[in-house]
Amino acid sequence: MMRCIVLADAAAVYEEAAHRIVALISRVQGRGRRCAIALAGGNTPRGVYRLLARSTSIDPAKLELFWSDERAVPPQHEDSNQHMARQTWLDHVDIPAAHIHPMRGDAKDLEAAAREYEELLHAQLGAPPRFDLVLLGLGSDGHTASLFPGCAAIQETLRTVAVTQAPGGARRLTLTPPALVASRMVLFVVTGRGKAWALQQVLHGEHDPMRYPPHALEPAQPLFLVDRSAAEDPSISGTPPIA
C-alpha cells in the first residue's frame, strides 16, 4: 500500500516532513529510548534537515543516526550524503559523536564496508535492523536509496547492506529491502516536476520492483509527501494532483 499526501510546494513538503519527524522522535524519546533514523541523501532532504536543525523539541542526545545509502567518496566530498547531513543539520546540534553512524563510502573495499555496516546495524538494532524511521527520496529514474532499476540488491532477502552502482556513475553502499521494510516508518519526500514521471509509475504503475524499486518497500506501507509539481501527470497537461 502506497500512501500519498500532496502539498502546495516544496516548502510545505519540508515543513510537513519535519513536523512528522519531530513528532515521531518525541514519541520515541518519551518512551525513554533513543530514536533510530536512517537518513536520506540527495538534494531533496536538505530543506527537511535545515528545519530539524532549528527544532527545540528534539533531545539530540537521544538520537541514533544511520544512513540509507552513501556514495563511494570521502566524507568531506560535496557528493557525500554524510557531508550534506552534517552541513545542514548535524553540525548545528549537539548529537554525541558515538550516536552518529556514517557508512564508509571512502573504504578501499566496499564489500567489506557493507559487511561491517550490516554488523553494526544488527548489533545496534537487531537482525533485520528495526529503524524507527527511514527517510527516502525518489530519483527521476525511480531509484530510492541506492537501489537502481534492475540492480540485483532489489531482490536481496538476507543481506541488509549491499554495494550497487549508479548507471554511468559511482559505486554506492545502500540498505536493502529487508532493512528498509523492517522500519516502523518509511517516509518519502518528493519535490519537483522532474520527479513526476517516476512518482506516477511508483504510485500507479504495474507492480514491478525491478523497474520501480520503491515497490519492494510496499509491505512497510510507505508514506509519500509530495508537492504539486511532482504530483502532476507529465503526460497530460493540466492534470489535477493525485488524490
β-pair type (63-67, 133-136): unpaired
Ordered per-residue pLDDT tens for the chain, 243 residues: 799 999 999 999 999 999 999 999 999 999 999 999 999 998 899 999 999 999 999 999 999 999 999 999 999 999 999 999 999 999 999 999 999 999 999 999 999 999 999 999 999 999 999 999 999 999 999 999 999 999 999 999 999 999 999 998 889 999 999 999 999 999 999 999 999 999 999 999 999 999 999 999 999 999 999 999 999 876 543 333 333
Cell of 59: 533531545
Residues 160-177 have pLDDT tens digits of 999 999 998 889 999 999
β-pair type (223-227, 171-175): unpaired
Closest to 243 measured CA to CA, from 190, 188, 203, 197 = 203
3-state SS class at 173: strand
Q: Does domain 3-204 have CATH number 3.20.20.210?
A: no
Give the largest CA-CA distance in the chain: 51
- Contact indicator for 231, 240 with CB cutoff of 8 Å: no
What's the CA gap between 61 and 219, in Å, rounded?
31
Q: Where are the beta strands (DSSP E) in 26-77?
A: 35-39, 63-67, 69-71
Residues 87-109 have pLDDT tens digits of 999 999 999 999 999 999 999 99
End-to-end alpha carbon distance in the chain: 15
